[in-house]
Structure 1
Amino acid sequence: MDNIVKKLQDGTLVPFIGIGVFEHTKSSEGVQLPFDSDSLILALNNGRAMSDRLMYEYSRAAMSLEQRKGREFIVQMTNHIYTSKEYDLPFTYQFFKDIKPKYMIDTNMDDSSCKIYEDVEHFMITGTSRISAEYDRFIIYKFDPSSKEYKQIEKEQLDDSLPILFKPMGSTVPEMNFIISDADFVDWLTEAMGGYALPPFLKGYKQDKEYLFLGVDFSRDTFRMVAHEITLGLSSGVLITKKDELTKKENKFVNTHNLKVINEDCDVYLKAL
């Protein structure tokens, strides 16, 4: 336990958080928060299932809804899912709140990971997409705990003097900004492959890291590509999953990225630590 905590605090071990960490989280009104692709699609579409083709992956469903109802609809619905009802901080984030990892990657779009660092100065990087002004697909903020405000800073100001929270798929705070539809992911991944989805400092800082994947589903191409781009240069890692058997593509990703698989519920794994 001490070794894991030390590695989290010095940044050699990086938590990589996915939507599955919400599996045991319900709102104060008893509503289950989305914890996988299917439940996120239902939440975006007012509880209604969509065609099998669209239900394959939430980015497809979001793209269909965006085409029919407009971009603002998707942005507002995503924000509504995470801000309209109160819910307790999921256990995964509670666990890391005491540790405050030096570097954390959170692919969820709510503000749970922000609460880990709410009492300390930190940097937050949020992903962005489909902007024409420049190639960069990120925005960098610095958090002031005295004012409780995030202020945007220049990419040259990012360093490892403070904890770094990276939210590549966007966030509800400090402004609504989400990578959620197919068009968002295509744009983000295209620029990621060109080197524009990560700040220059992170490109070097992320080399030779170990990763702890919690609540991440690698059964779909999109998220495997996202994780690959973000963790390029990794040394090894651990995937915590409840799946007894991984798909052929998941196994290939695991082997290619030198990951160890532990078949366990995320909460149970962290509580055992």
Structure 2
Amino acid sequence: MDDIVKKIEEGELIPFLGMGVFEGTTASDGTQLPYDSDSMILALNNGRAMSPRLMYEYSRAAMSLEQRKGREFVVQMTNHIFSSKEYELPKAYKWLKDLKPKYIIDTTVDDSLQKIYSDCDHFLITGISRITADYDRFIIYKYEVSKGEYEKIEKEDLTLDLPILFKPMGSTKPDMNFIISDADFVDWLTEAMGGYAIPPILKEYRKDKEYLFMGVDFSKDTFRMVANEITIGLKSGITLLNKEELTKKEDKFIKTHSLKNIKMSINEFIDNHGK
């Protein structure tokens, strides 16, 4: 059996998914699902580009839209982008559906991850921001196939005996909670640095693990910070960046975290590492 596949199945190598897994994914109406910062901005703003300052990163553009049109507009627009039309699961999810990792991190905000685990009991953790009742920036759910629905549980009830799906930037389901604008990310990252963005049991479990970063844009400051906070204590890992030359920031992140970049597309990588 392929060593990478074996490591994923045994929980030594943790998949970490970013928006790039949607590259090439077309919805039923022929539109392309957002797969990077620019395409996410266009989707949020009805296909229109924004000023160069706002086009820098989608969190900045989302913050501008929130200030002009309100928080609810951004939430509903994000949900509309990923919930209003049918689309085939990207190849990365189809591959992981067979592997069923024990722990998987997914920074997309749609529900593809939940779909591939719908045939087995599991835990789901979704990120949340800008709340005043608690420091924790996550909600934990338990899914039982026999019930066919998610139920909120306390962090003390989270165990390692079922697969754990971690969506730190939120999700369309079971509840619409999104880390999408600058204000969301600032709040989430602030609490993450204080240790409140990940349940205690995962802080212990993640030590000395390796990560497989698929579709994560390390050229953007925000997602480098998110990845850094979530993978504290990592041993090493792999990035898939199929580009001629890495940016200085990408190169520094990879070296600082003892990662190895494989210059290959996600689909090529999967083709080479199927079961």
For 1:45, the aligned partner's letter is: N
Q: Which residue of 1 aligns with 2:215?
A: 215
For 1:212, the aligned partner's letter is: L
Compute the displacement of 1:54 (Å): 0.2
Measured against aligned partners, the alpha-carbon deviations of 1:103-153 in whole angstroms (never above 9, x if no partner) come to 100000000011121100001100000000010000000011122201000
Q: Which residue of 2 aligns with 1:150?
A: 150
Q: Distance in 1 between matches of 2:168 and 2:65?
A: 22
What is the DSSP-based 3-state SS (H/G/I as helix, E as strand, rest coil) of the residue aligned with 1:118? coil
Compute the displacement of 1:272 (Å): 1.4
Q: Which residue of 1 aligns with 2:261?
A: 261
Alignment of 1:1-273 (within 5 A): 1-273=1-273
Q: TM-score, normalised by structure 1?
A: 0.99
Paired residues, what number?
Answer: 273
Measured against aligned partners, the alpha-carbon deviations of 1:149-174 in whole angstroms (never above 9, x if no partner) come to 01000000111100010000000000
Measured against aligned partners, the alpha-carbon deviations of 1:210-254 in whole angstroms (never above 9, x if no partner) come to 000000110011110000000000000000011211111111100
Q: Distance in 2 between matches of 1:259 and 1:195?
A: 23
What is the DSSP-based 3-state SS (H/G/I as helix, E as strand, rest coil) of the residue aligned with 2:54? helix
Percent of residue pairs bearing the same amino acid type: 70
For 1:226, the aligned partner's letter is: V
Q: Distance in 2 between matches of 1:2 and 1:152?
A: 37
Unaligned runs of 5+ in 1: none
What is the DSSP-based 3-state SS (H/G/I as helix, E as strand, rest coil) of the residue aligned with 2:233? coil
Q: Distance in 1 between matches of 2:65 and 2:56?
A: 14
Q: Which moved more, 1:178-187 or 1:144-153?
A: 144-153
Compute the displacement of 1:11 (Å): 1.2
Q: Distance in 2 between matches of 1:238 and 1:171?
A: 25
Measured against aligned partners, the alpha-carbon deviations of 1:67-91 in whole angstroms (never above 9, x if no partner) come to 0000000000000000101001111
Q: Distance in 2 between matches of 1:249 and 1:95?
A: 29
Q: Distance in 1 between matches of 2:171 and 2:122?
A: 16
Compute the displacement of 1:65 (Å): 0.1
CA RMSD of aligned residues (A): 0.8
For 1:125, the aligned partner's letter is: I
What is the DSSP-based 3-state SS (H/G/I as helix, E as strand, rest coil) of the residue aligned with 2:140? strand
Unaligned runs of 5+ in 2: none
Q: Distance in 1 between matches of 2:74 and 2:261?
A: 34
Compute the displacement of 1:6 (Å): 2.3
Q: Distance in 2 between matches of 1:158 and 1:127?
A: 15
Q: Distance in 2 between matches of 1:5 and 1:124?
A: 22
For 2:69, the aligned partner's letter is: K
For 2:89, the aligned partner's letter is: L
For 2:243, the aligned partner's letter is: K
Q: Distance in 2 between matches of 1:3 and 1:272?
A: 12
Q: Distance in 2 between matches of 1:101 and 1:126?
A: 17
For 1:90, the aligned partner's letter is: P
Q: Distance in 1 between matches of 2:269 and 2:125?
A: 28
Q: TM-score, normalised by structure 2?
A: 0.98
